[in-house]
Amino acid sequence: MADSMSAAIPAVAQPRSSSLQKLARRRSSIAFLMTLPLICVILGLVVYPAGYAIYLSMLSRRMDEFVGLTQYDILIENDTFWLVVFQSCFFAVTAVIAKAAIGFWLAHMLHHIPTKGQRKWRGMLLVPWVIPPALSTLGWWWMYDPTYSSLNWILAIFAVPAVPWLGEPWWARVSVIIVNVWYGAPFFMIMYLAALKSVPEQLYEAAAIDGASSWQRLRYITLPMMQNIISITVLFSLIVTFANYDIVRVLTNGGPRDLTHLFATYAFQVGILSGNIPRGAAVSLFMLPLLAIFAFFILRGVNQRNKEMM
Amino acid sequence: MQAATMGRRSGSLRAERRWALWTAYVSLIIACVIFLMPPVYMLITSLKTNAEMANLQGNPWIVLNPTLEHYRAIVENPLFLTFFWNSIKVTVVTVILSMVISVLAAFALARMRFWGSQWLATGVFLTYLVPDTLLFIPLYQIVGGLGLLNNTWGLVLVYPTLTVPFCTWIMIGYFASIPKELDEAALIDGASWPQMLIKIFIPVALPGIIAATIFAFTVSWAAFVYPTAFITTPDQMPLTIGVVSTLVRGDTFAWGQIMAGALLAALPPVIVYAFLMDYYIAGLTAGATKG
């Protein structure tokens, strides 16, 4: 785990004092040719579209005149849009906290049981992550179904009244979050398990000799050793959860009353379904500042980690 | 006196350990039940007859008369086979393309220093952080401009944005972990750069290549945003969007068929996972995959 994370940035070859300049020149042109497809993909399919999105968002609805920031103005005055902002933040923050907590707990539990059985449990617990989310969400949708709800049937055993899963706004929000947590928690578990395994056993032995309680071991050894991985995983997950699309699209399609829309699904509805490409682009671009902040911290975390490992 | 405290301490330690083990197993069992509940319920639903599904009286979690009629119906549905074939086509081409692009680039970035290589490595990482939901609207315009909307080749064109950055990223890691002595020896023997890549780097970094291939496969198979945006007619749809949009859009929800279709569609990644779990997890943990 540790070395795979650190493999990132400093992995680029160190300067080597090569004697023949000609060889070096040849080498760098070969290297350039080898990276050319990658550069094409990055420039052509990521950088250019991102810039193009900014341009698109400044056009009028029929895309025949340049209107500056009008689309953004319209959005800022739109109540539905602010609901989307709220729901995206609420969704991302709650889901990521839950995923991280469940993942951490399960990783700990897996780490405690004998190594022999770990593989089997890990294999089963990672299943939600392996199934394409659009498809497993169909299963959830059917479990939430008001008439045939198998979840309510289970709740009824415990004498809990039937829950209107997708019908009532707050329950719909919770339902969407549950599916996201179900899908993402195994990922956190695997990441944390790998990190737990990389903590040197001697530290725990030393702590045990000093009479540290299990809480103290967690607080003063495990958490500091995993701090970096935790923050990188959480930030990563914030980005992906924030930009999530498939779960909401399949489960509620934004309803009831547009209350479960996220940036992505709202942008899709406005941009593709209603055909207002410029405004759709503007909606999705609202994600950019937050994503940039997260990306900055991830990059810093990864770099820091590399320095520690070297 | 000291022995007594020692004894008590080790006794409580053992009790503490046993208690911890119990908590561990109980948590894992609960987690397993919850994590496996949706796929199991999908399986149960897919095996039920329509009459049994419409019956609201009984326990929804058991099947009284298991039947394979939904599976037969879905396998005989030409539309579903088209989805499957589209998915295979798009995924295979995307995986090959991404692996060629990323192995070449990762080799150059890990071993040959050139102007801007450091920047490029950081750039690869940053592009990995750009979500597809930020790009689908401009890409919709671009793909439309190329006349590839509602065409599987349009998907092949854009899927590399999902796979290439991460594959390159983990391949850089695997290549960089190969000892420098190996390529120096090869250079002394007069190997050229392409020979070095094919004869040394690819065989030595094979686990990494397998992990990256699995990643590319899973991501392209599960891709959802791009196909929903670009594909409008069923004959060009890959599985994910095909199952979700066409099967669901029927007048009465044919839940049995939907679940059978969804399970069959989820099968390839699950099979790959079942057989190559260790590579799968290696790829997952090699650089914080999306989650």
- pLDDT (tens digit, 0 to 9) for every residue of chain B, 291 residues total? 444 444 455 567 678 788 888 888 999 999 999 999 999 999 988 888 887 877 777 778 888 888 888 888 888 888 889 999 999 999 999 999 999 999 999 988 888 777 788 888 888 888 888 888 889 999 998 999 999 888 899 999 999 999 999 899 888 888 888 888 888 888 888 888 888 888 888 898 898 899 999 999 999 999 999 999 899 888 889 998 888 887 765 556 678 888 898 999 999 999 998 888 888 888 777 754 333
Per-residue confidence (pLDDT) for residue A8, from 0 to 100: 42
- B290 and A236 within 8 Å at the Cβ level: the answer is yes
Mean predicted confidence (pLDDT) in A152-164:
83
Question: Alpha-carbon distance B93 to A246, whole Å?
Answer: 23
User: Which CATH number is correct for B69-285, 3.30.1490.100, 1.10.760.10, 3.40.50.720, 1.10.3720.10?
Assistant: 1.10.3720.10
Confidence label for A306 from pLDDT (cuts 50, 70 and 90)? low
DSSP class of residue B65? S
Domain ranges of chain B: 2-54, 69-285
Mutate to test the interface with B, among A5, A12, A302 (most CBs of B within 10 A): A12
User: Within chain A, what is the greatest distance between any pair of CA atoms?
Assistant: 81
Per-residue confidence (pLDDT) for residue B2, from 0 to 100: 47
- A133 and B222 within 8 Å at the Cβ level: the answer is yes
Per-residue confidence (pLDDT) for residue A10, from 0 to 100: 44
- Among B256, B218, B215, B211, smallest CA distance to B240 is for B218
- A125 and B32 within 8 Å at the Cβ level: the answer is yes
Q: How many CB atoms lie within 10 A of CB A217?
A: 16
* pLDDT > 60? residue A84: yes
Question: Alpha-carbon distance A164 to A308, whole Å?
Answer: 50
Q: Which domains does chain A have, with CATH numbers?
A: 78-309 (1.10.3720.10)
Per-residue confidence (pLDDT) for residue B104, from 0 to 100: 92
- Residues of chain A with Cβ-Cβ distance to B164 below 8 Å are 38, 41
| A212 interfacial to chain B (CB closer than 8 Å) | no
| Sign of the CA dihedral with A144 first, then A149, A150, and A156 last | positive
More confident call, B7 vs A297:
A297
SS3 for chain A is CHHHHHCCHHHCCCCCCCCCHHHHHHHHHHHHHHHHHHHHHHHHHHHHHHHHHHHHCCECCCCCCECCCHHHHHHHCCHHHHHHHHHHHHHHHHHHHHHHHHHHHHHHHHHHCCHHHHHHHHHHHCHHHHCCHHHHHHHHHHHHCCCCCHHHHHHHHCCCCCCCCCCCHHHHHHHHHHHHHHHHHHHHHHHHHHHHHCCCHHHHHHHHHCCCCHHHHHHHHHHHHHHHHHHHHHHHHHHHHHCCCHHHHHHCCCCCCCCCCCHHHHHHHHHHHCCCHHHHHHHHHCHHHHHHHHHHHHHHHHHHHHHHHC
Kindly report, residue by residue over A90-101, the tens digit of the pLDDT.
999 999 999 999
Cross-chain CB nearest to B135 (options A49, A133, A299): A49
- Residues of chain A with Cβ-Cβ distance to B107 below 8 Å are 34
SS3 for B182-243 is HHHHHHHCCCCHHHHHHHHHHHHCHHHHHHHHHHHHHHHHHCCHHHHHHCCCHHHCCHHHHH
Per-residue confidence (pLDDT) for residue B11, from 0 to 100: 62
Instruction: Write the CB contacts of B238 (distance below 8 Å, at least 6 apart in sequence).
Output: B83, B86, B87, B90, B91, B152, B155, B223, B227, B231
- B138 and A287 within 8 Å at the Cβ level: the answer is no
Burial A75-103 (b: 16+ CB within 10 A, else e): beeeeebebbbebbeebbebbbebbbebb
Which range has the worst mean pLDDT, A12-16, A29-33, A44-48, B98-102? Answer: A12-16
- Among A12, A7, A37, smallest CA distance to B102 is for A37
Q: Taking CA A171 as the corner, what is the angle to CA A166 and CA A174, rounded to the nearest 5 degrees?
A: 105
Mutate to test the interface with A, among B40, B134, B181, B232 (most CBs of A within 10 A): B134
> Which residues, in sequence order, are bridge partners of residue A213?
none
Peptide bond into A256 cis (omega under 30): yes
Confidence label for A9 from pLDDT (cuts 50, 70 and 90)? very low
Phi/psi at B191 (nearest 5 deg)? -75, 145
Average pLDDT, chain A: 83
More confident call, A148 vs A122:
A122
Phi/psi at A275 (nearest 5 deg)? 75, 15
Mean predicted confidence (pLDDT) in A205-224:
86
Joined tokens for residue A140: 């959830």
Question: Alpha-carbon distance A133 to A249, whole Å?
Answer: 11
Per-residue confidence (pLDDT) for residue A201, from 0 to 100: 86
- ipTM > 0.95, yes or no: no
- Residues of chain B with Cβ-Cβ distance to A128 below 8 Å are 35, 38-39
Residue B285 CA, chain-centre distance (Å), reads 13
Q: How many CB atoms lie within 10 A of CB A68?
A: 10
| A192 interfacial to chain B (CB closer than 8 Å) | no
| A7 interfacial to chain B (CB closer than 8 Å) | yes
Mean predicted confidence (pLDDT) in A129-157:
86
Phi/psi at B44 (nearest 5 deg)? -60, -50
- Residues of chain A with Cβ-Cβ distance to B115 below 8 Å are 28
